[in-house]
Amino acid sequence: MALHPKETIHDIAFKGDIYTLKLKFEQDNKLLTQKDDNDRTLIHWAALGGHEELVKLLSDLGTPIDSKDDIGSTPLILASSAGKEQVVHTLLALGAQVNSQNHEGHSALQYAASKGWLNIVRVLLSSHADVNIADKRGATPLHRAASVGNTDVLKELLACGNQIVVDCKDAYGNTPLHLCCQDDRVEEAGLLVQHGARLTTKNREEKTPLDYAAPSLARQLQNWAEQ
């Protein structure tokens, strides 16, 4: 099967066309590790496309599963960000590094928490993902889930109990509760307080979460904190 004139080997991997790829490999096995302009190999694109069978084939043929693109993202990070649950399962079963981080410090768990991919969050946590992993701005998965209102993910992270640092601070000194109060996220703020988040923690501007909360939310948070 001939490639479209503008279709690259990486396009074929993104589509998951195993048959065409196998033919190409027979002609030139160096294609297995050939990189595109973003330093992505075929397994990056297979992961992004959600093709677990192709990911496994590429791994079986010797493609490194933890190779990094030009911003340091591995196939697992890309699959987790794109919501490709079965590929995440496959990569972890093949031994992918669950806590790998890209150049900005973003991990698979951080992306899954930010995007709201609950099942992927569960899979990563069960594979010993670091629930407190922080990026270069100090943001953890809890910051990510809280700041965008991914309530189910927030509950899953908080279920880690003593493992999770509820009042972790980012580079600005903000805790996840600060972020919830800034955006008036009532349910998420309540969950954090009920799991021990402190109302008195100050950020770099000497502001507490209550300083950002609307009056009604501030009253509710104080009630929860006293229970």
**pLDDT tens for the chain, residues 1 to 227:** 444 557 899 999 999 999 999 999 999 989 999 999 999 999 999 999 999 999 999 999 999 999 999 999 999 999 999 999 999 999 999 999 999 999 999 999 999 999 999 999 999 999 999 999 999 999 999 999 999 999 999 999 999 999 999 999 999 999 999 999 999 999 999 999 999 999 999 999 999 999 999 999 999 999 888 87
> How far is residue 208's CA from residue 202's CA, in Å, rounded to a whole number?
5
What local confidence, expressed as pLDDT, does residue 5 receive? 58
Whole-prediction pTM: 0.94
CATH number of 38-130: 1.25.40.20
Burial class (CB in 10 A: 0-12, 13-18, 19+), 177: buried
The CA–CA distances, whole Å, from 108 to 95, 117, 139, 200, 224 equal: 14, 11, 13, 31, 32
**Any residues with CB less than 8 A from the CB of 192 and at least 6 apart, and which?**
146, 154, 158, 166, 176, 177, 180
47 in Cβ contact with 91 (< 8 Å): yes
> How far is residue 4's CA from residue 101's CA, in Å, rounded to a whole number?
35
Q: For 118-176, how does the pLDDT look when each residue is reduced to its tens digit (9 = 90+)?
A: 999 999 999 999 999 999 999 999 999 999 999 999 999 999 999 999 999 999 999 99
The CA–CA distances, whole Å, from 98 to 3, 49, 110 equal: 35, 19, 11
Residues of the chain with CATH 1.25.40.20: 38-130, 132-226
Q: In CATH terms, is domain 132-226 a member of 1.25.40.20?
A: yes
> How far is residue 176's CA from residue 197's CA, in Å, rounded to a whole number?
9
